[in-house]
């Protein structure tokens, strides 16, 4: 069972370079999310897509763009990477657009480690 | 500003001890979830609590949602080394554009044999 798949797993970028983190889920989920995780900060929401065709900003959207390519795929783009974007990035998905619940669980990918030097 | 504050941030205990992790907020949430995360992996859902005052048990783990739905606690009885990990609470709220989860900073638990 693939679940939520993120690529790449590890990436080192130079300041100013651009890159796209790819995410795909095979569970036919409607909602997809991008989070970043930093020490002592928990997970912070960057962007989310409640359903195919919609995207919205989360808590920390500056410096990022997203594309909900289709129901399966939700990509995160860094146009001009900065050292402050060094982090672990998690993609997640959820079946429905309603609140998380026992029947509407969020599933996370394994994370993408990004270092900007 | 962290909307959800967890305490303690770090906890190192001996096998067999009991512990409690707290998750507090000034905001009301529709539901609250607890996750456990191991190194190199994404968070995995442990439980969802929805009703104020609700208590749920998962083997040696007891989760409680505050009456006002602003806080929660996780109590582990007789901790084992396999309980070691990062525990995250997350509050769910409904936004006009969809539902969102806000995470606490996490509690890193180490259970020593």
pLDDT score at B92: 86
pLDDT score at A104: 74
User: Which residue in chain B is spatially nearest to A39 when comparing CA positions?
Assistant: B105
Kindly report, residue by residue over B8-30, the tens digit of the pLDDT.
999 999 999 999 999 999 989 98
Kindly report, residue by residue over A28-72, the tens digit of the pLDDT.
999 999 999 998 778 999 999 988 889 999 989 999 999 998 999
pLDDT score at A105: 83
Q: Is A79 left (phi over 0), alpha (psi -120 to 50) or beta?
A: alpha
Which residue spans within chain A are E strands per DSSP?
4-7, 10-13, 19-25, 31-38, 42-49, 56-57, 64-68, 74-78, 87-94, 107-108, 112-116
Kindly report, residue by residue over A73-96, the tens digit of the pLDDT.
999 999 999 999 999 999 999 887
User: Which residue in chain B is spatially nearest to A38 when comparing CA positions?
Assistant: B105
Looking at the complex, does the CB of residue A60 fall below 8 Å from at least one CB of chain B? no
pLDDT score at B10: 95
């Amino acid at each position: 069972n693939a679940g939520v798949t993120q690529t790449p797993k590890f990436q080192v970028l130079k300041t100013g370079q651009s890159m796209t983190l790819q995410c795909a889920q095979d569970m036919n989920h409607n909602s997809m999310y991008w989070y970043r995780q930093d020490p002592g900060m928990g997970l912070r929401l960057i962007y989310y897509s409640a359903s195919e065709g919609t995207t919205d900003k989360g808590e920390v959207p500056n410096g990022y763009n997203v594309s909900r390519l289709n129901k399966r795929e939700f990509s995160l783009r860094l146009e001009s990477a900065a050292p402050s974007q060094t982090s672990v990035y998690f993609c997640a998905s959820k079946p429905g657009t309603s609140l998380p619940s026992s029947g509407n669980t969020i599933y996370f990918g394994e994370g993408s480690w990004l270092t900007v030097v | 500003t962290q909307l959800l504050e967890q305490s303690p941030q770090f906890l190192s205990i001996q096998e067999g001890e009991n512990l409690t992790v707290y998750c507090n907020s000034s905001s009301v949430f529709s539901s609250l979830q607890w996750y456990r995360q191991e190194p190199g992996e994404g968070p995995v859902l442990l439980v969802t609590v929805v009703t104020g005052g609700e208590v749920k048990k998962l083997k040696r783990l007891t989760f409680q949602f505050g009456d006002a739905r602003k806080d929660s606690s996780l109590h582990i009885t007789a901790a084992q080394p396999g309980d070691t990990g990062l525990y995250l609470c997350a509050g769910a709220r409904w936004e006009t554009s969809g539902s969102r989860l806000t995470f606490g900073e996490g509690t890193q638990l180490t259970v020593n044999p």
